[in-house]
Structure 1
Amino acid sequence: MVGLFKFSRFSLLLLLVLASLGWACGNNQESSKPKRKPKIESLADLGALPKYVTDPPGNPTSPEKVKLGRLLFFDPILSGSKDVACATCHQPEFSYAEFLETSIGVGGMGRGSKRFFLDPNDIPFVKRNSQSILNVAFNGIRNGETYHPDSAAMFWDLRTKGLEEQALFPIRTFEEMRGHGYEEDKVVDDIVKRIKAIPEYRSLFAAAFGGQSDPVNAGNLAKAIASYERTLIANNSRFDQYMRGDSSALTTGEKEGLNLFLKAGCAKCHSGPMFSDFKLHTLGVPDTPNRPETDAGGDNNYGFRTPTLRNLRYTSPYMHSGAFKTLDQVMLFYEDLTGGKIENPKVEMYQMDSLVSQINVKFKDIDRIVEFLNSLNDESFDKSIPEKVPSGLPVSGM
Structure 2
Amino acid sequence: MTPRFTCFSVRHLAGLLATSLFGAVVACQPDSPAPNTVSQATSNGLSALPTAAPAPADNPSSAAKVELGRLLFWDPILSGPRDVSCASCHHPASAYADGLDLSIGPNGQGQGSQRRFRQPNDLPFAQRNAPTVLNVAFNGIGPDGHCDPTTASMFWDSRAQSLEAQTLLPIATLAEMRGRQYSEAAAVDSVVARLRRVPEYQQRFAAVFGGVAPVSAANLGRALACFERSLTTADAPYDRYLRGEQAALTDEQVQGLTAFVQSGCPKCHTGPMLSDYQTHVLGVADNAKLGATDAGQNGTYAFRTPSLRQVAATAPYMHNGTMSTLAEVVRFYDAGPRGGRASLNPNVPNARLDPLLPTRVTNQQAIVAFLGSLSAGSFDRTVPARVPSGLPVGGSL
TM range (shorter): 0.7 to 0.9
Alignment of 1:137 onto 2:137: yes
Alignment match, 1:392: 390
Alignment-mate amino acid for residue 391 of structure 1: S
Alignment match, 2:355: 354
List gaps (5 residues or longer) in structure 2.
1-11, 17-43
Q: Does the CA-based 8 Å contact 1:47-1:143 persist in structure 2?
A: no
Alignment-mate amino acid for residue 14 of structure 2: E
Distance 2:78 2:15 in 1: 45
Q: Does the CA-based 8 Å contact 1:296-1:302 persist in structure 2?
A: yes
Shift of 1:175: 0.9
Alignment-mate amino acid for residue 322 of structure 1: G
Distance 1:52 1:81 in 2: 36
Alignment of 1:343 onto 2:344: yes
Alignment-mate amino acid for residue 310 of structure 2: N
Higher mean C-alpha displacement, 253-262 vs 238-247: 238-247
Shift of 1:58: 1.1
Alignment-mate amino acid for residue 129 of structure 1: N
Q: Does the CA-based 8 Å contact 1:42-1:262 persist in structure 2?
A: no
Alignment of 1:288 onto 2:287: yes
List gaps (5 residues or longer) in structure 1.
1-38
Alignment-mate amino acid for residue 170 of structure 2: P
Alignment match, 1:154: 154
Q: Does the CA-based 8 Å contact 1:260-1:369 persist in structure 2?
A: yes
Distance 1:47 1:323 in 2: 33
Distance 1:186 1:46 in 2: 47
Alignment match, 1:197: 197
Q: Say if 1:152 and 1:384 are closer, same or farther in 2 by CA, change over 3 A.
A: same
Q: After superposition, give the CA deviation of every residue in 1:66-98 in whole Å (9 maximum; x if it has no partner).
A: 010000000000001101000000110111101
Alignment match, 2:74: 74
Alignment-mate amino acid for residue 146 of structure 1: H
Shift of 1:145: 5.2
Alignment-mate amino acid for residue 41 of structure 1: A
Shift of 1:134: 0.5
Distance 2:182 2:45 in 1: 46
Distance 2:256 2:240 in 1: 17
Distance 1:308 1:295 in 2: 21
Q: Does the CA-based 8 Å contact 1:301-1:351 persist in structure 2?
A: no
RMSD: 1.7
Q: Does the CA-based 8 Å contact 1:56-1:149 persist in structure 2?
A: yes
Shift of 1:53: 1.4
Distance 1:148 1:137 in 2: 10
Shift of 1:118: 2.2
Distance 2:77 2:172 in 1: 13
Alignment match, 1:65: 65
Shift of 1:135: 0.3
Q: Does the CA-based 8 Å contact 2:145-2:272 persist in structure 1?
A: no
Alignment match, 2:53: 53
Partner-residue secondary structure (3-state), 2:290: coil
Structure whose CA Rg is larger: 1
Alignment match, 1:29: none
Shift of 1:46: 7.1
Q: Say if 1:189 and 1:316 are closer, same or farther in 2 by CA, change over 3 A.
A: same
Distance 1:286 1:235 in 2: 33
Q: How many residues align?
A: 356
Higher mean C-alpha displacement, 330-339 vs 221-230: 330-339
Shift of 1:144: 1.8
Higher mean C-alpha displacement, 302-311 vs 39-48: 39-48
Q: After superposition, give the CA deviation of every residue in 1:25-72 in whole Å (9 maximum; x if it has no partner).
A: xxxxxxxxxxxxxx9935669751111111111100001100100000
TM-score under structure 2 normalisation? 0.86
Larger proportion of helix: 1
2:378 to 374, 377, 380: 380
Q: Does the CA-based 8 Å contact 1:46-1:271 persist in structure 2?
A: no
Distance 1:48 1:323 in 2: 30
Alignment-mate amino acid for residue 229 of structure 1: E
Alignment-mate amino acid for residue 307 of structure 1: P
TM-score under structure 1 normalisation? 0.86
Q: Say if 1:382 and 1:42 are closer, same or farther in 2 by CA, change over 3 A.
A: farther
Alignment-mate amino acid for residue 213 of structure 2: D
Shift of 1:236: 1.4
Q: Does the CA-based 8 Å contact 1:48-1:244 persist in structure 2?
A: yes
